[in-house]
């Protein structure tokens, strides 16, 4: 079996990625820094605000704050990521912002409006260092909000809020340090709102969280388009890894492969830190150190997700580093796959959210008893200690109600078995960690496995790993 050296990993991508060329059309908007024309539309975000408004009681007012900027070290911040619910309702990807949604029209700047977006003013000096801001004009033209003001103007506004209003507030729970040069930063905006002295009710805030969870749980067609794109990119990354993987590669090199595919296909970020756990690390559920050298005979748990325009995939495959499962690895792998198939079969509209977990757990427990790894079903959590499903969307563990499954909801189905060194079983099973995870769209009477584009059975995985990589021109 001919294997591809890691330095030539780009060879893997020429065929798969050439089909993607031109899939993302570009626009050049020098005024506002918008370069993708497949973002969620202003109409989408407006519709989400209207859906939220319809849930409000009389005199209801929603107040949401943007995510704060977070310091990484000294004068370097982490790359900014917007609060998912704030992005869902506005499309704004900038900090230092507030959204207000009113049940009934309010007079703001002499206009009767049902919504107000507060955001940073444009500043050529700051934009020289940090890039474009939308500003008020961009918020009106690009985001399509009804009314927008700068933070400085907001601090001077009379909003007419009083004790009779039903306030629903998503607060920032972090200790914020205000910028002494910018009284309208997030700390200033939050302090100004607190200074209004309005009565806040924790029950109202929980109600707002519940409303947002219910809305975000069910995906609209535009959202599913972005999720399919993120999942397709992630599947391509898993296939690229399968074709490149070989002993003596490091975990960080496998991470580099998948994240190269993400960026090459237009994903802005990974939806979560890539989990590339080999050998004993395959039994660490959220292992992200990714520094170990992989050995012949190891398994690699590759749990990854590209984030595309805010929406993330989450697809896990477990790979034999040398391209072939050992007999013990194959027994555990096939058991996890049977459990996953049992779980997926339970995913349909109206089913309880935890039906997939119940079905998968029953299969794992029976199979592990048959293999002699446990004596009773109650011991199953020794080796399968996490849930089987979570919602997927703007967050990798997305918002949802955990009630009966609804059409156009996306959940994961991801059973696993993790037999760490020192477990109370025959050492031949030690360091075998297997997780298989797919992203599943709930339909009436059934489901669609959105990540079926990447091999899942042991035979298909081994066949993909045996494929020759394409040659680079001139080599």
Which helix (H) or strand (E) element contains residue 195?
Answer: helix 186-195
* Three-state SS at 3: coil
Q: Which of 357, 390, 395, 456 is catalytic?
A: 390
- Which of 165, 185, 314, 398 is catalytic? The answer is 314
Q: For residues 110 and 222, give the distance between their C-alpha atoms in angstroms, rounded to a whole number.
A: 35
Determine the Cα–Cα distance for residues 169 and 87; give it in Å rounded to an integer: 16
Provide the β-strand partners of residue 100.
63, 116
Q: Is 248 a catalytic residue?
A: no
CA 144 to CA 48: how far, in whole Å? 12
Which of these is catalytic: 418, 431, 438, 462?
A: 418
- Distance in angstroms between the alpha carbons of the first and the last residue of the chain: 19
From 303, 398, 431, 439, active-site residue: 303
435, 438, 439, 462: which one is catalytic? 435
Strands, sheet with 315-320, edge to edge from the N-terminal-most edge strand: 275-278, 299-304, 315-320
122, 264, 386, 406: which is the annotated catalytic residue?
Answer: 386
Compute and round to an integer the Cα radius of gyration of the chain. Answer: 25
Q: Say if strands 299-304 and 315-320 run parallel, antiparallel, or are unpaired.
A: antiparallel
Candidate list 437, 438, 439, 462, residue with the active-site label: 437
Q: Please confirm, yes or no, whether 269 is among the known catalytic residues.
A: no
Catalytic residue among 397, 444, 468, 471: 397
414 is catalytic: yes
Q: Is 181 a catalytic residue?
A: no
Q: Give yes or no: 418 in active site.
A: yes
SS3 182: coil
Please write down the HEC assignment for all residues of 278-329. Answer: EHHHHHCCCCCCCCCECCCCCEEEEEECEEECCEECCEEEEEECCCCCCHHH
Does residue 54 have an active-site annotation?
A: no
- Tell me the CA distances in angstroms from 412 to 81, 240, 332, 396, 400, one per residue in order: 23, 22, 20, 10, 13
Half-sphere exposure of 316 (CA within 13 A, CB side): 31
Catalytic (active site) residue 397: yes
Reported as type and span, the H/E element at residue 57 is none
314: annotated active-site residue: yes
**303 catalytically annotated:** yes
Long-range contacts of 372-379 (CB under 8 A, 24+ apart): 372/425, 372/426, 373/419, 373/425, 373/429
Please identify which of the residues 236, 239, 307, 414 carries the catalytic annotation. Answer: 414
Q: Give the active site residue among 21, 28, 54, 75.
A: 75
Q: Are strands 306-308 and 76-77 parallel, antiparallel or unpaired?
A: unpaired
Q: Which two tokens stand for residue 314?
A: 């989450």
The catalytic residues are 75, 286, 303, 314, 386, 390, 397, 414, 418, 435, 437
């Amino acid at each position: 079996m001919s294997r591809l050296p890691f330095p030539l990993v780009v060879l893997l991508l020429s065929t798969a990625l050439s089909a993607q060329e031109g899939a993302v059309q570009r626009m050049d908007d020098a005024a506002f820094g918008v370069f993708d024309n497949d973002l969620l539309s202003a109409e989408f975000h407006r519709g989400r605000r209207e859906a939220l408004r319809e849930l409000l009681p009389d005199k209801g007012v929603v107040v949401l704050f943007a995510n704060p900027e977070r310091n990484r070290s000294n004068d370097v911040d982490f790359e900014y990521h917007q609060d998912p619910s704030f992005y869902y309702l506005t499309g704004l990807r900038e900090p230092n912002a507030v959204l207000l949604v009113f049940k009934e029209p309010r007079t703001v700047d002499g206009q009767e409006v049902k919504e107000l977006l507060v955001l940073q003013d444009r500043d050529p000096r700051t934009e020289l260092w940090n890039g474009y801001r939308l500003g008020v004009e961009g918020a009106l033209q690009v985001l399509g909000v009804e009314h927008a003001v700068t933070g400085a103007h907001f601090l001077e506004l009379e909003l007419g809020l009083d004790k009779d209003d039903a306030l629903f507030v998503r607060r920032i729970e972090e200790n914020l340090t205000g910028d002494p040069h910018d009284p309208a930063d997030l700390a200033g905006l939050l302090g100004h709102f607190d200074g209004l002295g309005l009565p806040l009710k924790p029950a109202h805030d929980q109600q707002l969280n519940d409303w947002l969870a219910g809305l975000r749980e069910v995906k609209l067609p535009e959202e599913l388009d972005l999720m399919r794109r993120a999942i397709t990119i992630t599947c391509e990354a898993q296939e690229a890894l399968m074709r490149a993987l070989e002993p003596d590669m490091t975990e960080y090199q496998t991470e580099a492969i998948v994240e190269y595919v993400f960026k090459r296909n237009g994903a802005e970020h990974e939806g979560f830190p890539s989990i590339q756990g080999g050998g004993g690390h395959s039994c660490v559920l959220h292992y992200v150190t990714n520094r170990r050298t992989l050995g012949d005979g190891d398994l690699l748990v590759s749990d990854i997700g590209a984030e595309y325009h805010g929406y993330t995939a989450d697809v896990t495959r477990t790979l034999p580093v040398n391209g072939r499962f050992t007999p013990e690895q194959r027994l555990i792998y096939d058991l996890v796959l049977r459990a996953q198939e049992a779980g997926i079969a339970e995913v349909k509209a109206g089913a309880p959210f935890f039906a997939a977990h119940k079905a998968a757990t029953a299969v794992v427990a029976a199979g592990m008893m048959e293999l002699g790894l446990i004596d009773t079903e109650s011991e199953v959590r020794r080796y399968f200690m996490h849930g089987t499903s979570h919602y997927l969307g703007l967050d990798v563990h997305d918002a949802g109600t955990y009630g009966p499954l609804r059409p156009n909801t996306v959940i994961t189905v991801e059973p696993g078995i993790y037999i760490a060194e020192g477990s109370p079983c025959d050492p031949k099973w030690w360091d075998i960690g297997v997780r298989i995870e797919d992203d599943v769209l709930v339909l009436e009477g059934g489901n669609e496995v959105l990540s079926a584009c990447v091999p899942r059975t042991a035979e298909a995985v081994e066949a993909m790993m045996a494929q020759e990589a394409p040659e680079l021109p001139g080599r």
